[in-house]
């Protein structure tokens, strides 16, 4: 039986650059829709509200989960996704970012961009006039945060009051997680090495949205009582020249069995992937019974499907 299409969403026509574009109600609706669409997909009920719609996907950085989750998700919704490599679109070099946004908006119903500099997705959104989704930038990774929240909600039955501890670099993943937690009344602690705290402006913004994350340089103190322990790679793309220095500085922040013992009983482990076993996480944790990293990876697709449906609905 074909699932009936629903009325236009409250975020129809908007862009998703940081999660701060949305309020608590909109975030809850996106997660609700993600769970609904996941259920339909699991039971084989077709739902293709985006028939005839096209998503242009700009990749300045290579990807696995971002490309596959968006492309398969768009296909499942009845639409088409068109990946564009750095060789095909050289933003700011061969053509201005503004001109690219204006041109793609004449062909596609939405744009997803995975870029080095956050300013580029802002320029695309300003110029395009169609929804622009940040697939990753140096400051934010909103789709990842939606998948994280969806995974935690599924696993723990809700979000309000849940304690999450993120261990490691205060990077784009930590930034979007901070905003997402603030909007869902989820308690976030970020345990980071000296000099690697999250951006102060984003921490302040999280406070304005609902809750300021707790910051600490003590990983054991940070994970104490946490129901969710989360980490990311120590060296992101574009930071390769810092890799050796970061390995030394971040070594005490490895999420291993000993650190997980300081978390709450039954705590789960998350990682946005790709992971480096033996660096930011031990094999025993990421491959162990507490790990939910592949549920989390799958949920990228379901969260993004909900986002696409609601932005284009």
What are the structure tokens assigned to 65, written together?
């989960």
pLDDT digits (tens, 9 = 90+) for 2-11: 455 456 689 9
CB 168 within 8 A of CB 146: no
The span from the CA of 243 to the CA of 284, in Å, is 23
Buried b (16+ CB within 10 A) or exposed e, 80-97: bbebbeeeebebeeeeeb
pLDDT digits (tens, 9 = 90+) for 260-294: 999 999 999 999 999 999 999 999 999 999 999 99
What is the mean pLDDT of the segment spanning 193-204? 98
Confidence of residue 1 (pLDDT cuts 50, 70, 90): very low
pLDDT value, residue 8? 66
Confidence of residue 258 (pLDDT cuts 50, 70, 90): very high
Report residue 277: phi and psi, to 5°.
-60, 135
Q: Residues with catalytic annotation? A: 114, 141, 144, 232, 272, 300
Cβ atoms within 10 Å, residue 134? 27
Confidence of residue 238 (pLDDT cuts 50, 70, 90): low
Percentage of the chain exceeding pLDDT 70: 96
Which 3-state string (H, E, C) describes 103-150?
HHHHHCCEEEEECCCHHHHHHHHHHHCCCEEEEECCCCCHHHHHHHHH
Confidence of residue 243 (pLDDT cuts 50, 70, 90): confident
The strand ranges marked E within 171-213 are 187-191
pLDDT value, residue 189? 98
**Domains of the chain (ranges plus CATH)?**
24-139+301-312 (3.40.50.1370), 142-296 (3.40.50.1370)
- Average pLDDT value over all residues in the chain: 95
pLDDT digits (tens, 9 = 90+) for 57-106: 999 998 999 999 999 999 999 999 999 998 888 887 889 999 999 999 99
The span from the CA of 131 to the CA of 118, in Å, is 16
Residues in the chain: 313
Bridge-based pairing state of the strands 268-271 and 110-114: unpaired
The span from the CA of 43 to the CA of 149, in Å, is 22
Give burial (CB, 10 Å; 0-12/13-18/19+) of 200.
exposed
Q: Does position 155 have pLDDT exceeding 50, yes or no?
A: yes
What is the mean pLDDT of the segment spanning 134-162? 98
Confidence of residue 244 (pLDDT cuts 50, 70, 90): confident
What is the mean pLDDT of the segment spanning 7-27? 94
Instruction: DSSP for 273-289, please give it.
Output: S---BTTTB-HHHHTST
Confidence of residue 223 (pLDDT cuts 50, 70, 90): very high
pTM of the predicted protein model = 0.96
């Amino acid at each position: 039986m074909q699932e009936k299409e629903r009325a236009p969403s409250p975020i129809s026509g908007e862009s998703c650059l940081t999660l701060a574009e949305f309020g608590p109600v909109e975030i809850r609706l996106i997660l609700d829709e993600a769970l609904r669409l996941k259920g339909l997909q699991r039971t084989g009920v077709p739902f293709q509200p985006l028939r005839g719609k096209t998503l242009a996907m700009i990749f300045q950085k290579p990807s696995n989960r971002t490309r596959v989750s968006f492309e398969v998700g768009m296909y499942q919704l009845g639409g088409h996704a068109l990946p564009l490599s750095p060789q095909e679109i050289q933003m700011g070099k061969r053509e201005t970012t503004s001109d690219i946004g204006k041109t793609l908006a004449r062909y596609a119903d939405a744009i997803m961009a995975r870029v080095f500099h956050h300013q580029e997705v802002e320029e695309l959104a300003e110029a395009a006039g169609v929804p622009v989704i940040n697939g990753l930038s140096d400051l934010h990774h909103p789709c990842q945060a939606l998948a994280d929240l969806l995974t935690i909600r599924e696993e723990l039955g809700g979000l309000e009051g849940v304690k999450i501890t993120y261990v490691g670099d205060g990077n784009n993943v930590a930034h979007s997680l901070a905003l997402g937690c603030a909007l869902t009344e989820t308690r976030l602690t970020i345990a980071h090495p000296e000099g690697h705290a999250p951006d102060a402006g984003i921490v302040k913004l999280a406070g304005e949205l609902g809750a300021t994350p707790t910051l600490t340089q003590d990983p054991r103190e940070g994970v104490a009582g946490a129901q969710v322990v989360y980490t990311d790679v120590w060296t992101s793309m574009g930071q390769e020249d810092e890799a050796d220095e970061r390995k030394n500085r971040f070594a005490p922040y490895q999420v291993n069995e000993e650190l997980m013992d300081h978390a709450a009983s039954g705590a789960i482990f998350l990682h946005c992937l790709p992971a480096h076993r033996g660096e930011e996480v031990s094999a025993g944790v990421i491959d162990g019974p507490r790990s939910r990293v592949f549920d989390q990876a799958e949920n990228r697709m379901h969260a993004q499907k909900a986002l696409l449906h609601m932005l284009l609905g």
